[in-house]
Amino acid sequence: MGWSFKVHGGVAAVLGAVSVVLAWLTRLPGTLPLPEETGLLALMVVLLFPVLATALARLVLMRVDKALVWQAFRCIPGKVQAGLAVLALSGMAMVFLSLGQEGNLQSAEARGGRYFAFDTTARGTVELSRERYQAVLETDQRSMLTMSGVAFVGAAYAVLAAGELRRADRGVAPSR
User: pLDDT tens digit string along 126-171?
Assistant: 777 777 777 777 777 788 888 888 999 999 988 988 888 877 767 6
What would the pLDDT profile of 108-126 be if each residue is shown by its tens digit? 677 787 877 777 776 777 7
Residue 57: φ, ψ to 5°: -65, -40
Reduced to 3 states (helix: H, G, I; strand: E, B; else coil), residue 109 is: strand
pLDDT of 27 above 60: yes
Instruction: Evaluate if pTM is beyond 0.85.
Output: no
Statement: residue 176 has pLDDT above 70:
no
Handedness of CA 107, 129, 30, 86 (dihedral sign): negative
Model confidence band, residue 38 (pLDDT cutoffs 50, 70, 90): low
Residue ranges of domains in the chain: 3-107+143-170
H or E segment to which residue 110 belongs: strand 105-111
Residue 89 pLDDT > 80: yes
Residue 137: burial class (beta carbons within 10 Å; 0-12, 13-18, 19+): buried
**Residue 41 in this model has a pLDDT that exceeds 60:** yes
> Can you give the pLDDT at residue 100?
60
Average pLDDT across the chain, whole number? 80
